[in-house]
Amino acid sequence: MRSMNTLTRADLAEAINRKIGLSRSDSLTMVEAILRHMCESMSSGENVKISGFGTFLLRDKAERVGRNPKTGIEVPITPRRVLTFRASQLLKDRIGQG
């Protein structure tokens, strides 16, 4: 059962439960383990690629000068690491058909 057009961990676990037949508890444990492994990999600086789905990429952004849109005053933006997602061509094609 999808909730408000957002796929959740529980939805993923339910799909595993229906398709593979694992218990709901085991299915949720599997989803949590996969997500935990992805988070740990990205925390240690690795990108995560899931063939046919996409790649989670880490990018380091340098310090730069931004501007407060209300006052126009220049403000330094500190360097930081950001996470981006690049969808695979297969995923783009599937979404485009939808």
Average pLDDT over residues 67-81: 95
By C-alpha distance, which of 36, 61, 62, 59 is closest to 47? 59
User: What is the DSSP-derived secondary structure letter of residue 78?
Assistant: -
Strand (E) or helix (H) holding 52: none
Residue 12 has pLDDT above 90, yes or no: yes
47-98 is classed CATH 3.90.980.10? no
Q: What is the pLDDT of residues 28-60, one digit of tens each?
A: 999 999 999 999 999 999 999 999 999 999 999
Distance in angstroms (rounded) separating the CA atoms of residues 49 and 85: 10
Res 4: pLDDT:
66
Q: Are 1-46 and 47-98 equal in CATH topology?
A: yes
The structural architecture, per CATH, of the domain 1-46 is Irregular (4.10)
Domain coordinates in residue numbering, the chain: 1-46, 47-98
Residue 2 has pLDDT above 70, yes or no: no
